[in-house]
Amino acid sequence: MFMRIDHVGIACHDLEEKIAFFERTFELTVVAREVNEEQGVKEAMLHIADGNGGGSYIQLLEPLGPDTPVGKFLAKRGEGVHHVAFGVPDVAEAMREIGDRGVRLLDEAPRHGTMGSSIAFLHPKDVGGMLTELVQAPKH
C-alpha cells in the first residue's frame, strides 16, 4: 500500500528562517510553496530524492494562526516533527482499507494537498502517536 515516504512535516514558527537553515545545512532546494487555508498552514517543500511513484521531501509548516492544527501543536509541544506522509497509489482506496482496519480517519474525503496532491490524515493516537498523512500524487 505505501510506496514510499512522501514527506516529513516539520512545524516551525518562522518558515523563512527554517527554509534558510535547511538550504544551507543540508543543501536542499525549495521546489514548491503554498498557503493552504483549509489546513491553516503556509508551507514549503524541499526536495530530497525521486523514487517509486514520486519524490520525497521535507515539508516545513508555519501556522496561519494559533487555532489551527500546527498552531496548537506548536503551543503544546514546540517546534519539531509534526507528521509523516506516505505515498499511496489511490488515497480514497487507502482510506477505505485503513479505516476498515479500525484506524480513525480525520478526513471524510480526500483534501487538497501540496503540489496538486490529494491527502488525508489518520488519527495519531491510532498510529502509535504519529500523525500520519496519506498522499496521492497528481495524475499527469
Residues 44-63 that bind ligand V0V (CB under 6 A): 59, 61
Regarding 33 and contact with ligand V0V (CB under 6 A), the answer is no
Q: Which residue in 95, 91, 93, 119 sits closest to 105, CA to CA?
A: 95
CA angle 120-15-113, nearest 5°? 20
Q: Kindly state the smallest distance separating residue 63's Cβ from Co ion, in Å.
A: 13
Task: State which of residues 4, 9, 110, 120 lies at the interface with ligand V0V (CB under 6 A).
Answer: 9
Q: 125 contacts which partner out of Co ion, ligand V0V, none, CB within 5 to 8 A by kind?
A: ligand V0V
From CA 113, how far away is CA 90, in angstroms rounded? Answer: 14
End-to-end CA distance of the chain: 20
Q: Kindly state the smallest distance separating residue 95's Cβ from ligand V0V, in Å.
A: 13
Q: Which residue in 5, 84, 73 sits closest to 40, CA to CA?
A: 73
The gap from C-alpha 19 to its chain's centroid, in whole angstroms, comes to 16
Task: State which of residues 9, 63, 69, 87 lies at the interface with Co ion (CB under 5 A).
Answer: 9
Contacting residues toward ligand V0V, per CB under 6 A: 9, 36, 39, 41, 43, 59, 61, 69-70, 72-73, 82-83, 85, 106, 113-114, 117, 119, 121, 124-125, 129, 131, 133
